Structure 1
Amino acid sequence: MIPVRIPSFGRRIGVRMLLCGTMLQVCPASIAAARRAPPHASTRHAISSARNIHQARPEAMTVTGTRRFNFAHAQREADSTTHISAETLRDRHVVAVTDLQNLAPNLTVQSLKGTQSINYHLRGVGLDDYYENNVSSVMVYVDDVAYPFSSMTDGMMFDIADVGIAPGPAGFTHGTPDSGGEVSLHSADPTSTWHGGASEDIASYARSITNGYISGPIARNLTFRLAGQTIQGGGWQYDPSNGAHLGDQDQSALRGKLRWTPDSRTSIQIGGHWTRDNSELVNGKPVINLDPSWQHYPDLSGYRQTAWDMRPDFAKLVGRPDTLKPSEHNIFWGADVRIGHDFGFAKFDTISAFETERQGEYSDEDGTALATGDVYRNVDANAFSQEVKLTSADGHPLHWVIGAYYARSRMAQQFFSNFTDYKGRGYISQSSYDQNQQAFSQYANLEYRLTHTINLIGGLNHMSDDRQLLNYRTIQYGHSNLAFVPEGALTNQIGGLLGIQDQFTEHFQGYFKVSKGFKPGGFAANNTVAQAQLNAFKPESLVAYELGFKSDPLPGKLRLNGAAFYYDYHNQQVVSSFLLTDYGPLGTYVNVPRSNIWGIEFSADARPLAHVYLNGNMGYERGTYTTFDALNTPATNAYHAATGVYRAFYTDYSGTDLGIPKLTMTGSAAYRTDLTADLTGELGVNGNYRDSQAMTIGGTGAYRLPSYFLMGACATVASKAHGWSATVYATNLLDRHYSVTSSSESTTYQHVPGAPRFIGGRLSYGF
């Protein structure tokens, strides 16, 4: 171990580089202070505190004198939040939000038909939103700003300090209420001393990922941080008929922060970001022929094989070249202003944010070279939010948070569908609409330290959400011109939280919570040909019961956390089908009167031997429809395939399994040691298992994604004194064939395959 001078501390300490990329450090004094913190600090405050611990220091080093686990403060919180550090994100090669499902129990993050629109499910709670015109059951935050449209997170997974994944009803201490929980991304903040770094990652299929950042002081009490990323190449699918390949990334992003601290009690920060994404998509592979009259069912037996096409007349209509591949053509940008002031008795915080998206997206939704379901979508959307919050000072038996959150969004969508090769239709259609939305919510949270170890928790929130669907039109060129009357959805709901926490010993605490969460209603607005498709679905709500514990039985050597939960679900919002007998099944949303979900979660970190580091988590969950009757889409499609006639088959799904993945597991093991006085080395392996998942109500066979197991590995050499590291790695080491989501359109039902094995290398330098 080499003593190194760290300017921000002004003292000598032993340091050692953590490996496999750009590194972060842990301050023993800060952790010790966090461990002494009273147990009444709010969950949100815990996440922020853990975040500030590693952002206040140089990002290239970590203390090894007394090694401790990350997020020590969070061990005193009455929640089951999964905290993910920057080094874990790097070691597990997380480059998109969909990769997060490999790091947390009972979490599903899936793209919509392989596009940049993302659906989140946490403990089985989530909405498969067709075109992201509805609020998610699991809200995503970036630097404490709620993103109402999931595609806005496109290109945001760089220079991330940490991630928090919190299941269960949310919105009692910050932000907006929801029923399923939240995913919080925290980007790195400006530093008071100069730091910078860069990395270049080159892997299979000519993929390149370049990252860089610079951070430091501009003037007295004025600091900044600027970070950027570009991702290129990596397309691994190909068309066997002509050899053309598909899936190359073409994405660039920038993020900047400017922080002014005029005095020790006040902080003012301005932030902004920009993303351009012209990446190609991953195409689905047909697994079911839904149309018996179609004689061109493709033979795409190879795992990497696919097919697509862009017809000249369709390209002219949407204003893109006829050589266009399935791809994105997106621009996202946003800005925020946050002000904080410590009044002594309480801390005042306000965040104002504005986010925009401009999408042009072409997806070949039949997975073939025929024009039976090609879709081009234009989206022009923006969202403004304003939060004001007051948090009491620590050190008192009563800790409270009160606040209010306002959000307003505007969206205009236009999507074209090419059915010219589909005998049942034979035309190009265009649908367009506008959607206006605004919501106002208020929240209050109280935590009272009843005794030295017992903490009582209570929370309350309310939301009023008003949204209107306007100017909806569907043009079937050469056939009809349809106009629909406006629709509206109004939600007024109240949520609540009650809990008790006991810090039984210094290193073991348990808690029990009961909470009620809710999510606003909305509309299905895809390819509408009948007014009934636009009927608003109702808000959903659930009552959640959770019993959990957190423990460090061998401090610095072993950490064990666990939780059990039961959800009583009312009016669960799910994707079903609406059948038009002369047209076919069309997706819509319905409310399940009653359902339930239960499960368990465990996580562990261990240092069993010198130089050996282990961590992992496991989630098991089951869900059942208690009362539910709906269209049986597989049976309806099967009857049409056999007879050429559409006939509705309805099924009572009471007692049917929800189809959520029952078992999810992830873990890693690493061996780290000094190679020389200056060089350190690491060998690591990781893996994750994901159970099968039904993609339709009661889905079996091809309507269910098979289970899969993936492995990865890495080896790193790094210099403690000179700030560089070199890594070789492999993802999907066993080259498994698996599917990550599914889709359907007219003639085919498809599975969207996951990435094959990638082998790569990364060079990093930081100071």
Structure 2
Amino acid sequence: MLAAVSLSSIALLQTTAWAQEASASAGEVSSTAEDAQDARGVQDIVVTAQKRSESVNDVPMSITAIGGDDLIRQGVSSAADLVKVVPGFNYTPSAYNAPVYTLRGIGFQEGSLAASPAVTVYVDEVPIPFPAMTLGAAFDLDRVEVLKGPQGTLFGQNSTGGAINYVAAKPADTFEAGADFSYGRFNLFEGSGYVSGPLADTLHARLAVKTIQGGEWQRSYTRDDKLGNKDQLVGRFLLDWAPSDRVNFSLNVNGWRDKSDSQAVQLIAPRPQNPASPNAAPINAYPLAPENARAADWDAGRDFVHDDWYYQVSLRGDIELSDALTLTSLSAYQKFRQNVLQDRDGMDLHSLAVRSLGSAKSFSQELRLSGDMDGIKWVVGANYQDDRVNDNFALDYSDSTVNPTLGIPINSNINFAATKIKTAAVFANFEWEIADRLKLSGGVRYTDVRRRFGGCTLDNGNGEMAALYTLLSSTFRGTPTPPIAPGECGTLDSTTFLPGLVTSRLNEDNISWKGGISYEPNSDLLFYANVGRGYKAGGFPTLSATVSSQFAPVTQESVTSYEAGFKATVLDRTAQLNGAVFYYDYKNKQIRGQVPDAIFGNFEALVNIPKSRIFGVELQASIVPVEGFKTDVGVSYVDSKITDSFINYTPLVQLGDFEGEPFPYTPKWQISINSEYRFPVSSSLEAFVGGGITYQSETNGGFGQLRIVDVDNYALLDARAGVAAEDGRWTFSIWGRNLTNKYYWTNASVLNDAAFRFAGMPVTYGASLSIRI
């Protein structure tokens, strides 16, 4: 299948390159249907990547932008589905409920709730600071804009890999309503609807809701049991008020709740930490998961249902102070809670179950001025953000091989962490046309981040962990330590060996910057080159800490980016070809690893990789050779490498120097192809048929390139067909995803006594109906 994908891609790119010689002029096209050009040509999308509206093909940076209708047609309903349409994007579920987003090899493989991402998600330019909060972001959209490479100057730190900006569908000037329904395998039902229109001459509103309900798709291979129910609800209310031609306010109230089952992992291999433990025998004897997507195992009789919820309120104000000067204010408050039990050993044994208990609150305020004077488009502004996170992991490992420890049986503990983050920044950005069709652009942002942390390993109230830590403290101090009370902190100070809460601070600042040049020989062709630097903030981990040194923070990482590319509209607007080559110089990349300890052996901790780099090439092509037929192709090549000595441990706790190795979870090749043909069957009816292929090359889940944590390459095939009213009032389709029922997985890890993986969904199929009024 890979050969077919590669040949199709090469043929399409060769055709488009040849067609460049026949290029003709083109105008801008809005993402809305009423502003669209002739259906025969490729259509631009208007984006706000530079905090102003402009055609995506006029922005001198790598952007993948997809309209809301295309997202629905291609079955993109979550961030995980962006892999189908965004070259270089990767989605990885983590062991602790927070997903990991990666762009062009830059991501933070860490599942703590308070972990700042390397790719930040925005909704209408409002940052969602932590990945666990992003479940409902991809909902009722006008479009999604994926900006690649460091975006620190305009979008702030924690976007060293890029930024994902979801743009919600806005209130309409006239009454509109619509609904989308889908039913498929495993009794999966998705239903959404919206109403939109004017409430008064200057007041417009939009209300949208969505629900996902589904049955169990995972099944135990050792007993009669199933898991995998879906129960999600998402809603958004938008209110736009324009009291005058120069003043506009937009209120956005949105939220979601999730009561779905957590996904069970598949047991790859038993790896008892203590082979001499009496618990090692049942672990070693446990049957491995069959190699199919549905087979898994988990603790019988436990409730794995999420109880997670989130809401956000944001207010945007735009005031035109003059024809060339606009003041924008963007305020937001958001809150998140999670409570979910997850089985992380893939066995019906209590080797490791994790209950993620946490909460996060965030307030942000941005104020900026933008203008266009004497050929210079500019933006200056400041923002402030206050984040507060409580992150608890309640661990149950009563059947693991860590027991008994020093003669004291330990069955559970709680990893506790509380973080307060205050971020302040000022920024400026400009674009200057220094000569006809030649532009210079640049930007700078100063950011100050202040983190306060408190954390420890807590006794869960039964006194077992308290007794162990009291014994350890007394032993290393050489004098009796007063007994630690049940439910109290046991983590030992690395110097005094006294137990208690570990507190620390991390204050950092940085200057992100970017400069670029672009040349537009004609309205159909753009060349650009950019260089810039972005930062991701340091932070503290949430983990089982025996000694306080495990809570040592990682320092901020930086990426210096060099990129050159082009955007070409060719063959009388029937083809669009975008390409880029990039090189990232990476300093102090953050990752979860291990640190040695002379007394206790190895501990989990966050660590910095001193030096590494990424080299890559990316191509995107869209061709509309005849009216009604469209093909989109995306090809991404990413070569990551640790370029200096980095001594750490493999997932099997083998010491090594990993200089020369690629990053975990960073496939070299990603390819996507999506085609659709629409044709009339009567004066009021049209039919369509389409499909897509997604390919990802192999990668690995840790250092040392161990086979046990390999993530094999895979190719997935989707297809769809249906009929629609010529006026767009309704559409009916049937569809299938992963039609070859390919067995694949997106994560492979080792925790406690087991190596496990997260399997991707098996073949699914169903039907959809869309109605517009």
TM-score class, shorter? 0.7 to 0.9
Return the alpha-carbon distance in structure 1 between the equivalents of residues 70 and 603 of structure 2.
41
Return the alpha-carbon distance in structure 1 between the equivalents of residues 526 and 623 of structure 2.
19
In the alignment, structure 1 residue 307 sits paired with structure 2 residue 297: yes
* Aligned position for 1:47: none
Do the aligned residues in 2 keep the contact of 1:146 with 1:175 (CA within 8 Å)?
no
In the alignment, structure 1 residue 557 sits paired with structure 2 residue 581: no
Alignment CA distance shift 1:234-1:162 (3 Å):
farther
In the alignment, structure 1 residue 340 sits paired with structure 2 residue 314: no
SS at match of 2:502: coil
Return the alpha-carbon distance in structure 2 between the equivalents of residues 200 and 421 of structure 1.
45
Q: Which amino acid aligns with 1:653?
A: F
SS at match of 1:280: coil
Return the alpha-carbon distance in structure 1 between the equivalents of residues 208 and 602 of structure 2.
46
Return the alpha-carbon distance in structure 2 between the equivalents of residues 678 and 63 of structure 1.
21
* Aligned position for 2:308: 330
* Aligned position for 1:297: 286
Deviations 1:77-136 (A, max 9, x none): 1001111111221122112211112211111121213x6411111111111122131211
Do the aligned residues in 2 keep the contact of 1:284 with 1:742 (CA within 8 Å)?
no
Deviations 1:398-444 (A, max 9, x none): 11111111111111122211111113234111122211111011111
Shift of 1:586: 4.5
Deviations 1:234-253 (A, max 9, x none): 43111133322111110011
Alignment CA distance shift 1:492-1:580 (3 Å):
same
Return the alpha-carbon distance in structure 2 between the equivalents of residues 515 and 102 of structure 1.
28
SS at match of 1:734: coil
* Aligned position for 2:387: 409
* Aligned position for 1:537: 554
Alignment of 1:227-626 (within 5 A): 227-291=208-272, 292=275, 293=280, 294-301=283-290, 303=292, 304-309=294-299, 323-325=302-304, 327-343=305-321, 344-393=323-372, 396-425=374-403, 426-475=410-459, 477-480=463-466, 481-482=490-491, 483-578=500-595, 586-626=603-643
Do the aligned residues in 1 keep the contact of 2:593 with 2:648 (CA within 8 Å)?
yes
Q: Which amino acid aligns with 1:133?
A: A
Shift of 1:671: 1.3
Shift of 1:588: 2.0
Alignment CA distance shift 1:285-1:369 (3 Å):
same
Return the alpha-carbon distance in structure 1 between the equivalents of residues 423 and 356 of structure 2.
26
Q: Which amino acid aligns with 1:621?
A: V
SS at match of 1:370: coil
* Aligned position for 1:69: 43
In the alignment, structure 1 residue 762 sits paired with structure 2 residue 768: yes
Alignment of 1:140-289 (within 5 A): 140-176=121-157, 178-289=159-270
Alignment CA distance shift 1:422-1:177 (3 Å):
closer
Shift of 1:330: 0.5
Return the alpha-carbon distance in structure 2 between the equivalents of residues 192 and 684 of structure 1.
33
Alignment of 1:733-752 (within 5 A): 733-752=739-758
* Aligned position for 1:644: none
Q: Which moved more, 1:226-235 or 1:714-723?
A: 714-723
SS at match of 1:151: helix
Shift of 1:471: 4.7
Shift of 1:692: 1.1
Do the aligned residues in 2 keep the contact of 1:110 with 1:119 (CA within 8 Å)?
yes
- Give 5+ residue unaligned stretches, structure 1: 1-33, 38-49, 311-321, 637-648
Alignment CA distance shift 1:392-1:762 (3 Å):
same
Return the alpha-carbon distance in structure 1 between the equivalents of residues 128 and 222 of structure 2.
41
Q: Which amino acid aligns with 1:527?
A: S
Return the alpha-carbon distance in structure 1 between the equivalents of residues 165 and 601 of structure 2.
40
SS at match of 1:283: coil
In the alignment, structure 1 residue 654 sits paired with structure 2 residue 659: yes
Alignment CA distance shift 1:446-1:65 (3 Å):
closer
Q: Which amino acid aligns with 2:163?
A: E
SS at match of 1:358: strand
* Aligned position for 2:20: none
Return the alpha-carbon distance in structure 1 between the equivalents of residues 394 and 105 of structure 2.
32
Do the aligned residues in 1 keep the contact of 2:39 with 2:627 (CA within 8 Å)?
no
Return the alpha-carbon distance in structure 1 between the equivalents of residues 759 and 712 of structure 2.
11
Count of equivalent residues: 691
SS at match of 1:295: helix
- Give 5+ residue unaligned stretches, structure 2: 1-24, 47-54, 404-409, 467-489, 492-499
* Aligned position for 1:704: 710
- Aligned pair partner of 2:110 in 109, 116, 129: 129
Shift of 1:700: 2.8
In the alignment, structure 1 residue 104 sits paired with structure 2 residue 90: no
Shift of 1:702: 2.0
Do the aligned residues in 2 keep the contact of 1:723 with 1:766 (CA within 8 Å)?
yes
- Aligned pair partner of 1:91 in 49, 52, 73: 73
Shift of 1:178: 3.2
Do the aligned residues in 1 keep the contact of 2:380 with 2:429 (CA within 8 Å)?
yes
- The root-mean-square deviation of aligned C-alpha atoms, in Å, is 2.1
Q: Which amino acid aligns with 1:364?
A: D
Shift of 1:635: 4.8
Do the aligned residues in 1 keep the contact of 2:391 with 2:542 (CA within 8 Å)?
no
Deviations 1:678-737 (A, max 9, x none): 001100010110111221123231222101000100001011247111110000011100
Shift of 1:530: 2.1
Deviations 1:627-675 (A, max 9, x none): 1322222453xxxxxxxxxxxx432222223342000010111111001
Shift of 1:175: 4.6
Shift of 1:582: 8.3
> What TM-score, normalized to structure 1?
0.87
Do the aligned residues in 1 keep the contact of 2:656 with 2:704 (CA within 8 Å)?
no
Q: Which amino acid aligns with 2:762?
A: P
* Aligned position for 2:5: none
Shift of 1:595: 0.7
Return the alpha-carbon distance in structure 1 between the equivalents of residues 130 and 614 of structure 2.
26
Return the alpha-carbon distance in structure 2 between the equivalents of residues 562 and 418 of structure 1.
50
SS at match of 1:75: helix
Do the aligned residues in 1 keep the contact of 2:269 with 2:288 (CA within 8 Å)?
no
Alignment CA distance shift 1:253-1:116 (3 Å):
farther
Return the alpha-carbon distance in structure 1 between the equivalents of residues 197 and 602 of structure 2.
57
Alignment CA distance shift 1:668-1:699 (3 Å):
same
